Structure 1
Amino acid sequence: MAAGDALGAGYEFDSPMPANQPVAMIGGGLGDFAPGEWTDDTSMAIVIARALANSEGQLDTGASDYMVRQWAVWAKDAPDVGTQTRAVLRAAEQTARVDKRDAPNTADAVAAATAIHRQTGRSGGNGSLMRTAPIALAYLDRTPDDTYQAAVKISKLTHFDDEAAEACALWTLAVRHALLTAELNIRVGLPLLDPERALVWERRIQQAEEKRPRDFSHNGWVVEAFQGAWSSIMVSKAADGGSAERLVASVEAAVRGGVDTDTVAAIAGSLVGAACGLRAIPAQWLEILHGWPGMNAQNLVELSLELVD
């Protein structure tokens, strides 16, 4: 996830690129990131991972309060925060100040997300899907339904939209399945949806498999971010040479798709990486991978292992 995020950071909101154009961790982008530096996608995911590690995998009020508090702290100085996420966190902080509390909590965030959706009629951005992968690590020994519900609840902290919640649940279950079996199966969570919604998502998945990442240019929307990420993995399935080539080809395809490149590549990287494993990440990427809050690739490995301990 972090590798895809950092790879796409320097190309964010660029137009789609030719299939043969080189892609590298060049840095730059909206946050003027250093080469190998991850963006808000990974930073928000790290908070989820730490919260669930601290709570021994229990998504209780303490864990979700921790997420909201830490995201609020991070967002104050972060160079690149999603518009919807920033609005929710600011509104939650305002509620806490009115109530004379030091920091916002779960109830503040959910209320803010609900209010913003009612005001604008829109809350289906990709900001909760990009950060959802750590839930799969924490829920490896739990049921698929438990995993689904956890992904929904964490999505709802900032994104009221049910489609965002569904996308997070389906992707998290696919990551969990990939970790347990090394198989890439984005449909594994469909039986947990209402049958009508499962049909909607089946059609969307089929579209992703029939088209190219560049065809999902509205990838700031959670549905097209989901489709663009899955399309990136599908167009790379014939990559020669094994898992390393498959992972690299997938995240590079996501970046070449254009627009929200860091987010789509982070989403794709989280799933294909779950199937391919740490060794599939190029050593030169791991050497320079870093970001908020002062972590590097080895720190991410340690945090991941802590989640599944």
Structure 2
Amino acid sequence: MELTQAQLDRAVGALLGGAVGDALGVPYEYGSRPLEAQPQMHGGGLGGIAPGQYSDDTEMAVCIARVAADGADLRTAEALDAVAAGFLQWYADGPPDIGVQTRRVLGETARQDGSAATMRRVATALHHETGHSGGNGSLMRTAPVALAHLGDPEAIADAARAVSSLTHHDPVAGDACVLWCLAVDHAVRTGELDVRVGLPLVDAGYWSPLLDEAEQAEPARYARNNGWVVAALQAAWSAIHRSASYPDGVVAAVNGGGDTDTVAAIAGALLGARYGADAIPAHWREMVHGWPGLRADELAAFALRTTATTRDH
């Protein structure tokens, strides 16, 4: 599909918006710093992160974006191996903040052959050992999957589940990624927010009431458990639903509390896909940076390269 300039700006917004939301939420993660009416990119958080620096939410998204920018079909074994290799490279570089579940999966995979198949087996074994693997760690990084397959809902759904399952075996996590990626795709293509556009490709009976609930609740309702993928999605959608701009939405996501950087990264990706990169305040764009030495311009380049290869398919 050929994209207009407005659509290209929204595609960039999906990746850059997530990074900015992430960096804005870092200082307040799980009460690291008291919430402020107007959050700032102070840095700090749980990992001694620098002002304006994004965290694992965007770092893992970058691993996916680099593969997508090379034109890979994220459903293929080769692409998933490349994503897995990126995750392991990032893990080896010693990220300052990484979720417990993701750390265990990547640590065990690094001791084996490092392939996507092994990573998925390790994630499955962890699920069976603990009885749960529905953390928000695959949802936080999922937006680049939508850019890799714009306009192809079934491909997006398959790729979202495949990339999610590398570290999160729980199918609810995969379905959350499907819903969010299809909402990002819809927003980039149409400029509209519709998180329900993906309901036909997930269990609508499960998800539809949860979305209804999120629209009636404040983001803070989910602060105690938004490390869980369902509550994280609800918190992000709650913040978006009651906002009318990119800044309003990410501020609402941060001020919901709890896992502030992750909820704001999730919300920021969809808000950026709706309002575009140009709607992200310049001072936030200028400050944002992170692993592996990227700033806003490099993140934008990944998004544009991905959409260019999508158009060539």
- The Cα RMSD (Å) is 1.4
Instruction: Specify the code of the residue in structure 2 equivalent to 1:220.
Output: G
CA deviation after TM superposition for structure 1 residue 74, in Å: 1.0
Distance 2:69 2:32 in 1: 38
Q: Secondary structure at the match of 1:10?
A: helix
Checking the alignment, whether the CA contact within 8 Å between 2:74 and 2:159 is kept in structure 1 is no
How far apart are the structure 2 equivalents of 1:191 and 1:25?
A: 38
Shift of 1:95: 2.3
Amino acid at match of 1:208: A
TM, length-normalised to structure 1: 0.91
TM-superposed deviation, 1:58: 4.7
| Partner in structure 1 of residue 221 of structure 2 | 215
Are residue 140 (structure 1) and residue 168 (structure 2) matched?
no
SS at 2:206 equivalent: helix
Q: CA–CA distance in 2 between the matches of 1:37 and 1:139?
A: 28
Structure 1 runs (4+) greater than 6 angstroms displaced:
15-18
Q: Given that residues 46 and 97 in structure 2 are in contact (C-alpha distance below 8 angstroms), is that contact kept between their aligned partners in structure 1? A: yes
Q: 2:67 is matched with which residue: 51, 70, 91?
A: 51
Shift of 1:22: 2.2
Q: In the alignment, is residue 227 of structure 1 matched against residue 234 of structure 2?
A: yes
- 1:174 is matched with 183
Match of 1:12, SS?
A: helix
SS of match in other structure, 2:197 = coil
Q: Which residue of 1 aligns with 2:296?
A: 297
In the alignment, which residue of structure 2 is the partner of 1:68? 84
Report what 1:124 is aligned to: 134
Measured against aligned partners, the alpha-carbon deviations of 1:251-293 in whole angstroms (never above 9, x if no partner) come to: 0111111110000000000001101001111110111110000
Once residues 74 and 205 of structure 2 are traced to their aligned partners in structure 1, the CA distance between those partners, rounded to angstroms, is: 31
Change beyond 3 A, Cα 1:3–1:213: same
Which amino acid is the alignment partner of residue 288 of structure 1? M
Q: Which residue number in structure 1 is paired with residue 287 of structure 2?
A: 288
Written as runs of structure 1 = structure 2, the 5 A alignment for 1:243-282 is: 246-282=245-281
Asked if 1:186 is matched to 2:195, the reply is yes
Question: Structure 2: which amino acid aligns with 1:278?
Answer: A
Write the distance in 2 (CA, Å) between the matches of 1:108 and 1:55. 24
Counterpart position of 2:165: 156
Asked if the contact 1:16/1:258 (under 8 Å) is kept, the reply is no
The residue type equivalent to 1:161 in the other structure is: D
Decide whether the 8 Å contact of 1:68 with 1:106 is kept in 2.
yes
Structure number with greater CO (CA < 8 Å, separation at least 6) is: 2
Partners of 1:17 and 1:256 within 8 A in 2: no
Q: Distance in 2 between matches of 1:15 and 1:164?
A: 26
Gaps of 5+ in 1: 97-103, 238-245
Shift of 1:10: 0.6
Instruction: Indicate the larger mover: 86-95 or 291-300.
Output: 86-95
Given residue 96 of structure 2, which amino acid in structure 1 is its aligned partner?
Answer: P
Gapped regions of structure 2 (runs ≥ 5): 1-17, 309-313
Structure 2 equivalent of residue 242 of structure 1: none
- Give the conservation status (yes or no) of the 8 Å contact 1:15–1:258: no
Distance 1:207 1:17, change over 3 A: farther
Code of the aligned partner of 1:183: E
Letter in 2 for 1:303: F
Answer yes or no: is the 8 Å Cα contact 2:72–2:79 preserved in 1: no
Residue 154 of structure 1 deviates from its aligned partner by: 0.4
Contact 1:68 1:105 in 2 (8 A): yes
Q: How many residues align?
A: 289
Q: State the SS of the aligned residue for 2:140.
A: helix
Contact 1:3–1:269 under 8 Å retained in 2: yes
Moved more, 218-227 or 72-81: 72-81
CA contact (8 A) 1:8 1:262 kept: yes
State the Cα distance separating 1:192 from its structure 2 match.
1.6
Return 74-83 or 259-268, whichever deviates more: 74-83
Aligned AA for 1:123? S
Q: Give me the TM-score of the superposition, normalised by structure 2.
A: 0.90
Counterpart of 1:287, as a letter, is: E
Residues 68 and 306, structure 2, Cα contact 8 Å, conserved in 1: yes
Deviations 1:19-44 (CA, angstroms, capped at 9, x unpaired): x7221111110111111100000010
